[in-house]
Chain A
């Protein structure tokens, strides 16, 4: 079977222009974290753009207009799909593209088209089933979303869905994967210590929809957005705080579009909140004795523009030994855990994370600090596999430890 008519309505006119704007300079090739590991020509941005442009020409170009469309074979689609789904959506290609092609949006549009064509990793069908039926990525009972709070020394009052000015949106990974429990545990204890009253949506928190959006299944995300926004509004919150950069990106940049207007409350990442508390002198931080470095999560840095808030927090720790990795801020190397890549190719994720680990070691760090539960999970896996003498902590964990040392 082959595709005889490739529809282009899923792309914006600007994205179709971007296919023609690519100068084939190859700058993106040099910076692509997954291509540098798997060396597949359809993985790097130039390869994907050239392939799609070739298809568009075959279907809509001069020859196609005169002699008819030439079909696209299933094998071609399958190979292209492997390339498109090998991308972590880190967005580094967008940062280096001389003509500023908005690559990340283009890759998501490509994935949406592949979903329409039925060519995507099988694990994503399970993901869709979990998120739409169980409202979380793991497929567990959503009632267990506050499981992380059970072994806190003291469960904060009003944690489970009470009216409050601040709602903490925990996110699927922090709520349901024990490796990341320490993140919500740290943040809630910090908030408790400084006297900020907050609540969570408890079992009423649904996946933000980000994994579906980036899988190319964004159509399913609207119901999730409507539910979550309504749940937060019902609590009368003025601020929504998240520890997950992907949730942040979705709430800030996707939800207003999905719900058709302003949310009516502010959405902040925990690192921004902590930076404000540091600036206000509210956080009493003690020393943190190990040298540390900061890993910019792609969805917090490049995709949401937050680079300095976590650094300000870390630098506020007395006598901190902080060093930057070679690739940082706009050009930070991805941990490998983004883009749903791990579901289809765990080895590729492991290879990218190994490279990031090497950069942290090169920087002389003993602790890699991130501000993302997925980065923490991925980098911790790499540390374990490589038997590296490194710890991976979230910025909230570092702050909580420093507060305890005060």
Chain B
């Protein structure tokens, strides 16, 4: 079976599980009260959120979302290196997710289904174009840097305030395996396609790593098939697990930080 068929089947399944998990969490939150009413409906919650945004103003909401929800300015004031590690991980994770989503949509939607090929679409779908190769390599590298800082803090420096338990270690392992398996996949792809230096050097980590193996007469296509499946299935499983894990805070904490920052401003006023 084609590796992409397996990938899409797994990824769609993971997406369904991810959405079901989000729904489960949302249903737990809706056990609480909103505007004094217990167990509100989803529409009641959406209505209350909209009223809140209207009361404080859309501009202020977007400003708080940017500064408190996404850039975490309070963390920046507290500790630059913690903020830097978090920004590396979160920023590149979100960027890579968006990049992969766009690539998937363009490849499967425009190219395969609709057979539309424009220079822009070709540039996005083709992993060897300078822009895509550089973005993928650099974002992965930034994420690894962030993860290494997290590991150094949590497992080497171990400040007394940290409580490292199974959820924390599991998250580090999941992120680490997903990230680290991405580079062998790219190395094997370059070997499989026998990419020349003109194209390959844009993948400035994977291409040099591939060079020592170029003279070997190994079944690169088959190896790439299995390593790609491992990487993509692992990433899909990780994605499905997000709503059930500590990593769910990536989605929730920006909302909470934004809402509480605005509520604090309101109270102060």
B-binding residues in A (CB < 8 A): 7-18, 20-27, 29-30, 41, 46-47, 50, 56, 60-62, 65, 96-102, 253, 305
Contact = CB atoms under 8 A, between A and B. Distances in A.
Given A26-B161, A26-B162, A102-B260, A21 B252 contact: yes
A20 B168 contact: no
B49 to A, nearest CB: 10
A13 B261 contact: no
A102 B263 contact: yes
A30 B160 contact: yes
Given A21-B252, A102-B263, A56 B28 contact: yes
Nearest to A30: B161
Nearest to A98: B75
Interface in B169-225: none
Given A13-B30, A13-B32, A100 B82 contact: no
B122 to A, nearest CB: 40
23 contacts: A9-B32, A9-B33, A9-B38, A12-B34, A13-B34, A13-B40, A14-B259, A16-B28, A16-B29, A21-B252, A26-B163, A27-B78, A56-B28, A60-B31, A99-B72, A99-B249, A99-B253, A100-B74, A100-B261, A102-B260, A253-B267, A305-B267, A305-B268
Chain B contact residues: helix, strand, loop or mixed: helix
B257 A100 contact: yes
Contacts of A65: 24
B248 interface: yes
B159 interface: yes
Given A24-B246, A102-B260, A13 B45 contact: yes
Contacts of B78: 27, 96, 98
B256 A17 contact: yes
B78 to A, nearest CB: 7
Given A11-B31, A99-B260, 16 more contacts: A8-B32, A13-B29, A13-B33, A14-B259, A17-B252, A20-B249, A21-B252, A22-B249, A24-B165, A27-B161, A29-B160, A60-B27, A60-B28, A62-B244, A100-B261, A102-B260
A258 to B, nearest CB: 12
B167 interface: yes
Contacts of A10: 33
B163 A29 contact: yes
Contact of A18 (B24, B28, B256, B268): B256
Contacts of A61: 24, 28, 244
A3 B169 CA distance: 31
Interface string B60-72: 0000000010001
Interface of B: 21, 24-25, 27-34, 38-40, 45, 68, 72, 74-75, 78, 82, 159-163, 165, 167-168, 244, 246, 248-249, 252-253, 255-257, 259-261, 263-264, 267-268
A20 B168 CA distance: 14
- 8 tightest Cβ-Cβ pairs between the two chains A and B: A26-B161, A30-B161, A21-B256, A8-B31, A98-B75, A99-B253, A100-B260, A9-B38
B162 to A, nearest CB: 5
Contacts of B25: 20
Contacts of A30: 159-161
A98 B67 CA distance: 12
Contact of A99 (B167, B246, B256, B268): B256
Contacts of A41: 163
Contacts of B268: 305
A388 to B, nearest CB: 28
B163 A24 contact: yes
B33 A21 contact: no
A46 B45 contact: no
Given A8-B32, A98-B74, A62 B24 contact: yes
Nearest to B250: A23
A305 B32 CA distance: 28
A61 B167 CA distance: 16
A257 to B, nearest CB: 9
Given A24-B246, A98-B74, A16 B161 contact: no
B33 to A, nearest CB: 5
A60 B33 CA distance: 16
Contacts of B259: 14
Given A17-B255, A100-B68, A102-B263, A8 B28 contact: yes
A287 B119 CA distance: 81
A59 to B, nearest CB: 9
B264 A100 contact: yes
B172 to A, nearest CB: 12
A141 to B, nearest CB: 37
B248 to A, nearest CB: 5
A15 B259 CA distance: 11
A47 B27 CA distance: 24
B163 to A, nearest CB: 6
B263 to A, nearest CB: 7
B154 to A, nearest CB: 10
A301 to B, nearest CB: 13
A102 B252 CA distance: 14
B252 A20 contact: yes
Contact of B249 (A9, A13, A23, A26): A23
A24 B159 contact: no
B158 to A, nearest CB: 11
A99 B257 contact: yes
B22 to A, nearest CB: 11
B33 A11 contact: yes
